[in-house]
Structure formats: C-alpha cells, structure tokens
Amino acid sequence: MIAVVTTMTTEVPAPDRVTQEDIEEAARRKELIIRWISRISGYVVVLGLWEWASGAVLEENLLPGPTRVLQTAVELFQDGKVFPAFGASLSRILLGVFLSFIIGSMIGIITQNRWFSGFFKDAITIGLTSPGLIWVLITALVFGNRWFGPILAIILTTFALVSVNVAEGIGSLPKDTLDMARAFKVNLVDRNRHIVIPHLAPYLFTGLRFSFSIGWKVTVLTEIFTASSGIGFELRIAQILFRQDEVLTWILLFFVFALFLEKVVLQAIEDRFFRWRKEIAST
Amino acid sequence: MAEIKIRNLHKEFGTGADKVVALEDVNLDMGGHVFVSIVGPSGCGKSTLLNILSGIETPTSGSLEITQSGHKAAPGYVFQAARLLPWRTVMDNLLFVQQDKSDETRARCQKYLEMVQLGDKGDKFPGELSGGMQQRVGIARAFSIEPDVLFMDEPFSHLDAITARSLRRELHTMWADTGKTIIFVTHDVGEAVELSNRILVFAQGGRLEDDITVDLDFPRDAADEEVAIAKASVLRKFEEFDLLAT
Amino acid sequence: MTAVATKPPSSSSGTAIPPRRPSSAPMRFIKSPRFARAMFLPAVLVFWLISNKLIENSWDFDSSVLATPREVWDFMWAEVTRDTVAPKDLYETFGISLYRLGIGFSISMILGTTIGLGMGLSRAVNAFFHDWVMALLAMPALAWALFLSLIFGFDNKGPIIAVVLAGIPFVIVNVREGVRSTPRDLFDMSNAFGVPSNKRTRHVLLPSLYPFLFASARYALSIGWKGLVIIELFGGQDGAGWTVKFWYDAHRLHGVIGYSMFFVIFALVMENAILEPISRRVFRWRPSLNSPDIVEEEMDALYDVEELNRELDANLPTGSTQET
C-alpha cells in the first residue's frame, strides 16, 4: 500500500513589509507600462498600416493616408468652411433633438395610461427599429429642401428612445419613498422636487444622450439628400467632385466632434449631476 | 479511507496593509470513517481550509497530505451553491465529472441520483428544479465519483429549514452506508452536533481553538436531551473563546 | 365570441379589491389596450390621408409626388408578383443583398470572435485594440458608405467590407464581455473534480459564451444590414439599397415607402423565422427566458429568486396573489 498521493510543501519565509509593498508597486508600474506600450503600438500599427496602404494598396487619391487627411483638415479650417458647416448641422440637430425630446416625453407620459400604451406600442417599436434612412428619403421626397424635412426625420427616428426612457423612469418611481413622504405629509411640490424629479432626471438625460447620438447621423444623412448647407452638404459636394480626401476629412472631423459632444460633454454633465446614481437604466 | 495530515498550514491574502491572515499554523489529523464538522464565525478561515484541502487554493506555507489507501480518486466536493452547469441536464452534470461515459458509469450516476430521490429527474435542466433539488444533485455528483473523502462547504445554508433538515438526514444515511470521510464546514452549531462525531472550532484569524469529540449514537434528533446538551456545551466553548461577539 | 367580455368581474379572490364600476361589455372592449393597439393602424392611415390633403392644399406641390396607402399597396403587390419597372425584381434584388450580407456577416463573426477572445484573455491585446474598437463602434455606417463607395465603385467588395466594418465592433465587444464574465465558480468546481481542460472548454467555457455569441450575431446582422443598404444606395448598381434610391430618383414616393416596408418585413422574418427558433433551441435550458438578452445575472442569484418565490408561495394563503 503506497500511501502518499498528494503532497504540497511550500515554504515561503514571511517577507519584509517594505519590500513587499515595493514589489507590489513595481508590479503595478509594470502592468501600466505594458498597457501603455500595447496601446501606443496599437496606434502605431493601425495608423502605419493606413499610411502604408494609401499608395501601396490603393491609389492615394482613393485612400488618402492620415497625413494627407490632417493636411486637408488644416486647409478646410483655413478656408473657413468648417465652422459654418458645423453651425448649420448643429442647429438642425439641436432643434430636432429638442422637439423629439418634448414629443417623446409627452408620449412617454401618456403611455402610463393602459389604453395609450396599447395604442403607441407599435409606434414605439417602429420608431426604435426602423432605420433613419427610410425617414430621410421619405421626408426628402415629400418636403424637398424645406427646413422641417430634416427636423421631422430626426424626430421620427429618435422620439421612441425618449418615450421608452421616460416610461421606464415613471414606471420605476420609488413607490416606498413616495409613500413614506406621503405618510410624513410632505406636500406635493416638495415631493416632486425632492423625489420625482431627481428620480426622473437620469432617465431623461439618457434618452437625450441616445437621441443625440442617433440624431447627428440622421442629420448628416438628410443634408446629403436635401440641404444646401451643413456637413452632409459638404460631403455630397466632395463626393460629386471625387475629392476623396475631403470626404474622409469631413467624415472624421464630424465624427470626432460628435464623439466629443457625446462622450465628453454630455457624459461629464451626466457624471456630475447623477453621481449618486451608479447605474443608469437604459434600453 | 482517507487520512488527512496537516502541518503548520498558513494562509494569508493580500500584502502590506491589506494583509489578512486566513489560517494560522494549523495542525490536524483526520481520517477513517468520520464526519468532521468545522465550525466558527464567518471569516475564521473555515472555507479557506476546505478550498486548500480540495486544491482550489494553495497554502502560503506549511504542508498538507491527503493519503488514500487503495485506488486513486479525486476528492468529492459539495459547494454552498449547487454550481451545476445550467446548460446541461442533471444526468450530464453528473457525467461531466466522470472519467468515462460507459454504461457502468451511467448506472452508477443513476444509482446516486436515486439515492437523493431524483431518479426520474435525470433529463431535466437544473433551472427546472427547486433549490433543494439542485443541492441534492450537487450531493449526488460528489458521491457519484466514489471519492474517499468528501468536502462540503455549508451545503445547506441556502436552503429553507425543512428542506435542509431532510437533506441532512439523507446525507447522514449516505455517509453511514458508504463509509466515506466527510469534512463539513458550517456556521450552524446545531447542524454540526447533529451530524458529526468530531467538531473543530475555528476562531477569527484562522486559529484552531478546540477539537471536540461528540460521542453519541446516530441518528440524532435535535430534540434529544443529550444532543441539546452537546450543542449547549459547544456553544459555551464559543462564549469561552469570545467568538459570539463577532 | 364574447366569452371574455361576459365573464363577471373577478371579485372571487378573498382580498379586498374595490368593486369595479359596472360597465357594459362593448365599452370594456373599447377601453382594452388590445383594442387600442388594433386602432393604431387605422389611425395612421387616416392621419396619412389627412396630411396628404393638408400638404396638397398648403403648398403648390406636384400632387403626384405624394403617395396614398392604396398606391403603396399596389406597388408592393406588383413587386411581389415580379411586375416591376426596376431593372431587377424584388427576389433578385434581395438575393444580391443577402449574398453580400451573408459573406460580410461571416467574416465579421470569425474575425470579431478571434479579436474578442484575445481582448478578453489578455490585457495587452485589449489595450492594443481598445481605442480603435470603440471608435469603430461609434462610427456611423454612413461614413463607411460614402468612403468605400468611392474606393470600390460598383464592386461587391465595397458592400461586403461595409458589412464587416459595421458589425465587427459589436462582435468584439460582446465576445470580450463573454470571456470576462465566464462563470468562475463553475471553473473552480471543475478543478475541484479534476475535470480535464478540453472537457472544461467544451462544457463550461463554450456554453457560457453562446449567449454572447448569439447577441453578437444579432447585432452584426442588423447593423450590417443597415450599413449595406446605405452603401448600396450611394455606390451600387444593384441590391436593396440601390433599388430604393432608384425609386427615390424616379420621384416615386410609393416606391420608397413600399420598399421600406419590404425592409421591415424582411427584418421581421429574419427575427421570427430564423433567429428566434435558433435562440429557443440553443437556450432551452433557460427557464422561461425566451428573450435574447445576454445572461449577466449569476446563476446563483437566479436560484435564490426561485427559492424565494417558492417560500412566498408556501407562506401565502392559497388563492391570493401579489398584485398591485
């Protein structure tokens, strides 16, 4: 009968406290260095491939490299084309998102009623799933280049996001807290101010952020078809003239700008005001 | 039958200011057809000891020998939550931990399913069973590999009192019938007294405070005077070591 | 026929429900959400016709631009029966687009899963790709469409690349999440029982990834489709997107609306006839969960809820339900 099957013997002398912390600090630093090296090499490889492909794989006119794009961007800024175009697009987006926010909230509120909830059920499904392109084409055909065509397209593609978030917010109102407030005879105004509005605000904000992120894409799309100003318009002109470098530059410029608004500005506002709320319900 | 020999076992988590000692210089010998319960307040290192015994964690220092006479078998393990694969049927969950899928093995799995009264539930998914049934599957799984030693980590703490009670009875019968060594971690002193013939009391910081032998006949009923007295004496030990304060 | 409506108000349960105001059966039917839902389509049609009239009267539109529901219906019927003035009929058109979608989708699944696995397993790989994946995720399909249509012209390559680029970031992100949320407790269990690693991969790792892979596939398909339509619209000579543009350029609103309806129908068929049955088959182990949501909750938590419900059921007097 041979007995021993598993034997583990690990003798590690209790390490000195200071060195232990040093080791850990070093490990953390090493980890950080590896992460940054990987990240930077990611940038180098992607940008390098892009620069190399431009010219080597495809003609430079078809695929302008990063340096060429940067150059074009500078030129566009110097020509003074960028800010008017951004201004035109942005004002359309803001108006569209604002109206969609109001309409969406109203629908979100009245769908608390079971009948209206049934009535709007399919409308919200359609609003959430139908591609913006459809509404863009339809409004472009019907309204031509009248100013509210694009606005209507934005509203139709984004209202449902707001509605769903508002309905979600109302549905999840903290009933126990409200009951507590009522039991303590807190008046209606204070109840709304301290419970209902703080509770709803994050939901409203999420709806707003989502509709912005969809709205700007729809806006550019409508401008390609109908408008005579804005990013989309500039894109179309560049495409017609086969100026691939300008197409790419406009796309990237607006992409960076929208991303900045969405992820930096709106996110910062959200983080600041809703710090108490770690996880915001989103649909 | 398994023999377990633990010498100067030490385990700590974290380093520097965050260092937590989970087990401090533990020396133990266990073996034979015994039912050993490890009790103590939460954070006393009892689950850590079990994890080290079953090889999920490694000790910081010290030695550990689990010697088994005869054939070589992995230890069986029953967890606090059943830890079943939710996407496999009950039978496939048992087969998952087997060496092979022969008819013989299947028959053995079926036998243990029947032992925990789930003979007809082999083709159900875990999600279709109640919590008590899932834990039964966990127990059947541990027995089905016919281990020499079984490690159990508070297997009944998630269950309601009535289910836990009937499962304790079943477990005890299985222990008596199969002659295994069972190492059973619990925070419930009553459970420990009811089931085991040896109780190890651990204190905060992973110190082994006491080693109590409970020499009463089985089956034990919590209502019996002798059992109640034994339970009270263990609890008194707890007070003595100031374990209740935490 | 009125079996539901004539049922007496449910006052049979013992709990104190305030007696409802008696209302007639037809009234109750009109007030029901189901009736409201049925009313939506007629309401849209009425609204459509009224706004047509309003628009015609308000501006000096060429009234032939506007479409009536009837015209849309006729158009759709003509397309279905292959009676079309477009160069390719409905079936050919969707066939071409589906072919592109299929290839692009397969590439994005294979490539995306590989990268996602790498990112989930290694911090360095994650750091390497992270920023670019996030940028890709936020990049609208429109951007690709304009750009690729200029590069590749009327080739199949452009649309396929657009599908890949649109879908791949979703696959990567989902697979990475899947790898990160693999069930640790089940791995520990496997280790404790000494289960060999190939068996562990097949029975623990892969099944735990399926929900994430499935979610990826769903996203990649729907986003890829949108991207495909847009690139076909800007730089194709056939396919679904191009055909919509064809009707748009012909100033036939009924064509645009009708074709959009085909898109919606196509999406519904894909969802209900293909994805849903697969999902039900793959996830039949999930109790009463047919939704395609990613399983994020711990299995233990799931069981606890069940246990709690069982306890609640046991403790509550029979017949009464917890309805508010």
Residue C32 covered by a domain? no
Question: Does the bond joining C19 to the residue before it have cis omega, within 30 degrees of 0?
Answer: no
Contact assessment for residue C248 and residue C148, using Cβ atoms and an 8 Å cutoff: no
What tokens appear for C290 in the block? 């047919």
Q: Would an 8 Å CB–CB cutoff place C205 in contact with chain B?
A: no
What distance, in Å, lies between the first and last C-alpha atoms of chain A?
64
Q: How many CB atoms lie within 10 A of CB A241?
A: 10
Most B-contacting residue of C187, C283, C285, C312 (CB-CB within 10 A), to test interface: C285
**pLDDT tens-digit map of A134-143:** 889 988 888 8
Average pLDDT, integer, range A54-83: 85
Q: How many CA atoms lie within 13 A of C159 on its CB side?
A: 28
Side-by-side strand order, sheet with B35-39: B76-78, B149-153, B181-185, B35-39, B198-203, B207-213
3-state secondary structure of B182: strand
Q: Report CA Rg, chain A.
A: 27
CA distance A155 to A93: 10
Measured CA to CA, the distance from residue A161 to residue A144 in angstroms comes to: 27
The residue among A3 and C139 whose pLDDT is bigger is C139
Tell me which of B3, B15, B23, B56 to substitute to probe the interface with A (most A C-beta atoms closer than 10 Å).
B15
With respect to residue C23, please indicate whether it lies within any of the assigned structural domains: no
What would the pLDDT profile of C182-238 be if each residue is shown by its tens digit? 888 888 888 888 888 888 888 998 888 888 888 889 888 888 888 898 888 887 788
Write the residue in C124, C132, C263 that is nearest to A46 by C-beta: C132
Handedness of CA C282, C288, C289, C295 (dihedral sign): negative
The CA-atom distances, in angstroms, between C189 and each of B35, B128, C184, C192 are 22, 21, 9, 5
Class of the CATH-defined domain A69-273: mainly alpha
Q: Where are the domains of chain A?
A: 17-63, 69-273
What total of structural domains would you count in chain C? 1
The verdict on a CB contact (< 8 Å) between C226 and A117 is no
Q: What is the extent of the structural domain holding C213?
A: 90-299
Q: DSSP readout, B106-119?
A: HHHHHHHHHHTT-T
- Check CB contact under 8 Å for B86 and C307: no
Q: Is A17 at the interface with chain B, CB within 8 A?
A: yes
The SS3 of residue A10 is: strand
Interface check C196 vs B, CB under 8 A = no
Of the two residues A49 and A194, the one the predictor is more confident about is A49
Model pLDDT for residues A4-35, shown as the tens digit of each residue: 333 344 444 444 445 666 777 788 888 888 88
Put simply, the answer to whether A131 touches C226 (Cβ < 8 Å) is: yes
DSSP state of B129: S
Taking each helix axis as running N to C, give the angle between helix B103-115 and helix B131-144, from 0 to 180 degrees, rounded to the nearest 10.
140
Q: Give phi and psi for B156, each to the nearest 5.
A: -105, 5
- Least confident piece of the model among A118-122, A150-154, A156-160: A118-122
For C284, the 3-state DSSP assignment is coil
pLDDT value at C279 more than 60? yes
Handedness of CA B36, B41, B46, B47 (dihedral sign): positive
Q: Can you give the pLDDT at residue A216?
A: 85
Nearest to B155 by CA among B93, B219, B82: B82
Q: Which of B76, B85, B125 sits opposite C186 (nearest CB)?
A: B85
**Rounded Cα gap, residues B211 and C264, in angstroms:** 72
Residue B76 pairs with which residues in a beta bridge? B150
Separation of alpha carbons A94 and A219, rounded Å: 10
Which of C195, C287, C310 faces B97 most closely, judged by CB atoms? C195
Let me know how long chain C is: 324
User: Which of A43, A137, A255 faces C256 most closely, judged by CB atoms?
Assistant: A137
- How many other CB atoms are there within 10 angstroms of residue A99's CB atom? 17
Residues 6+ apart with CB under 8 A from A244: A61, A62, A63, A64, A238, C147, C150, C151
Higher local confidence (pLDDT), C175 or B158: C175
C129-141 core/surface letters (b: 16 or more CB in 10 A; e: else): bbebbeebeebbb
Which residue among A122, A217, A242 sits closest to C140, beta carbon to beta carbon? A217
- pLDDT value, residue C1: 34
What is the interface pTM, i.e. ipTM, of the complex?
Answer: 0.79
Q: What region, left, alpha or beta, does residue B53 occupy, with left being phi > 0 and alpha being psi -120 to 50 degrees?
A: alpha
Chains B and C form CB pairs within 8 A to the count of: 74
B205 is written with which tokens? Answer: 């910081």
Q: How far apart are CA B183 and CA B196, in angstroms?
A: 9
Taken in order A153, A158, A164, A166, the sign of the CA dihedral is negative
Q: Show residues of chain B in contact with A11, CB under 8 Å.
A: 61
Per-residue confidence (pLDDT) for residue C250, from 0 to 100: 87
Contacts of B81 in chain C (CB under 8 A): 185, 299-300, 303
What pLDDT score does A253 carry? 85
| pLDDT value of position C201 | 87
Nearest to A8 among B3, B16, B64 (CB): B64
Residue-wise pLDDT tens digits, C247-258: 998 888 888 999
Q: Indicate if the pLDDT at residue A266 is higher than 90.
A: no
Averaged pLDDT, groups of 10, chain B, 246 residues long = 81 75 84 87 81 82 77 74 89 90 91 89 88 90 87 86 84 86 88 88 81 80 80 81 57
Question: B210: distance to nearest CA of chain A, Å?
Answer: 25
Q: What is the CATH number of the domain that holds C120?
A: 1.10.3720.10
In-domain check, residue C236:
yes
Looking at per-residue pLDDT, the higher value among C252 and A276 belongs to C252
Contact A1 B69 (CB under 8 A): yes
Mean pLDDT of chain C: 78
| Domains delineated in chain B | 2-75+148-240 (3.40.50.300), 85-146 (no CATH)
Q: Say whether pLDDT at C65 is over 50.
A: yes
First to last CA, chain B: 37
The dihedral of CA C194, C198, C202, C205: what is its sign? Answer: positive
Q: State phi, psi for A64 to the nearest 5 degrees.
A: -70, 140
Nearest alpha carbon to residue B141 among C200, A89, C220, C192: C192
Per-residue 3-state assignment (H helix, E strand, C coil) for C304-322: HHHHHHHHHHHHCCCCCCC
B103-110 LR contacts (CB < 8 Å, sep 24+) = B108/B144, B108/B146, B109/B140, B109/B144
Cβ contacts of B83 on chain C, cutoff 8 Å: 185-186, 188-189
C129 CA to centre of own chain: 27
A68 touches chain C (CB under 8 A): no
Q: Which amino acid is at C304?
A: D
> In angstroms, what separates the C-alpha of A152 from chain C's closest C-alpha?
14
For C59-74, letters b (16+ CB in 10 Å) and e give eeeeeebbbeeebbee
